[in-house]
């Protein structure tokens, strides 16, 4: 399918886009170990946003994978994960803070120009502020392409290079969205090796009652129905 928009986000950078309902955002890792820490907002609502705990408990999962539905505070679908080459995208461990990046040594624009190392937090806040938003709008992100393994006792261990170049995930917008993302390394990563991510927007197609996200679980179907009812 021809992309309506194609944009490569370099590693360690940040970006945002407004995604129209029904369109599909396809993210592709261009480098091994790329990560895309992603926040989602309902574009037509001043406060509604991704709620990771609600998304997980409604679908009995501790990871993001197709055909899960990403749900908002209002119980409405924001996006459906329509496909992915990976069956595990981390959503438990947040995004990197300035303190994580400082562990890799001093950096500044003055010395490193556009290769200076910035945290995901720094980038996400920059994008949020461009949209008139700020720290109060932060929420648990999805770290597309990252995996944090869960041990039998609940211990958490980052899996380096979970994604290889070419791995992808596609998200169908279930209402108009603001998508805010950072390609800074995962906060548990022990190296600064940011990977680039390609973003492509495709037209998408209407879905029917046999759509995998509709049939996945009754909870997924109800969240999708709630999205249809956002604007009565």
Partner 1 sequence: MTATLTLPTVESALRAEDAVLDVTVAAGDGFLGRVPAGGSFRIVDLHGNQAADTLFYDADDVTNRYSAMDTIREQRAAYLTAGSRLLSQDGDPLVTITADTCGRHDTLGGACAQESNVVRYGMHTRHQHACRETFLRYGAPAGIGARELGHNVNFFMNVPLTPDGGLSFADGLSAPGRYVEVRAERDVLVLISNCPQLNNPCNGWDPTPIRLLGWTA
- Residues forming the site for partner 1 (CB under 8 A): 47, 51-54, 56-58, 60-63, 65, 71, 73-76, 88, 92-94, 97, 99, 134-141, 148-157, 187-188, 219, 222-223, 226
Q: Which residues have a Cβ under 8 Å from the Cβ of 56 and sit 6 or more positions away? A: 62, 91
CB of 73 to partner 1, least distance (A): 7
DSSP, res 135: G
Cis bond before residue 123 (omega within 30° of 0): no
CB of 187 to partner 1, least distance (A): 6
CB of 6 to partner 1, least distance (A): 31
Rank residues 146 and 179 by Cβ distance to partner 1 and give the closer one: 146
d(CA 93, CA 22): 29
DSSP, res 72: B
- Which helix (H) or strand (E) segment holds residue 77: the answer is strand 77-84
Rank residues 8 and 219 by Cβ distance to partner 1 and give the closer one: 219
Three-class SS state of 128: helix
Bridge partners, residue 179, by sequence: 17, 40
> Per-residue b/e over 23-43, b at no fewer than 16 CB within 10 Å?
bbbbbbbbbbbbbbbbbbbbb
CB of 3 to partner 1, least distance (A): 31
Rank residues 33 and 201 by Cβ distance to partner 1 and give the closer one: 33
Rank residues 23 and 158 by Cβ distance to partner 1 and give the closer one: 158
CB of 51 to partner 1, least distance (A): 7
Rank residues 141 and 169 by Cβ distance to partner 1 and give the closer one: 141
């Amino acid at each position: 399918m021809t992309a309506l928009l194609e944009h490569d986000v370099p590693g360690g950078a940040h970006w945002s886009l407004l995604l129209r309902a029904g369109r599909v955002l396809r993210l592709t890792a261009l480098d091994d170990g790329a990560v895309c820490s992603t926040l989602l907002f309902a574009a037509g609502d001043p406060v509604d946003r991704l709620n990771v705990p609600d998304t997980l408990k409604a679908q009995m999962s501790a990871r993001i994978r197709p055909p899960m539905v990403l749900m908002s505070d209002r119980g409405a679908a924001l996006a459906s994960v329509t496909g992915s080459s990976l069956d595990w995208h981390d959503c438990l461990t947040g995004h990197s803070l300035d303190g994580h990046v400082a562990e890799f040594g001093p950096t500044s624009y003055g010395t490193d120009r556009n290769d200076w190392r910035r945290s995901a937090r720094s980038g996400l806040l920059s994008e949020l502020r461009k949209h008139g938003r700020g720290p109060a709008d932060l929420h648990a992100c999805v770290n597309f392409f990252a995996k944090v393994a869960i041990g039998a006792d609940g211990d958490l261990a980052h899996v380096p290079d979970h994604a290889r170049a070419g791995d992808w995930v596609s998200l169908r917008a279930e209402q108009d969205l603001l998508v805010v993302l950072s390609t800074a390394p995962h906060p548990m990563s022990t190296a600064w090796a940011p990977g680039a991510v390609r973003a492509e927007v495709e037209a998408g197609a209407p879905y029917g009652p046999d759509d995998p996200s509709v049939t996945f679980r009754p909870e997924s179907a109800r969240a999708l129905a709630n999205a249809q009812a956002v604007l009565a």
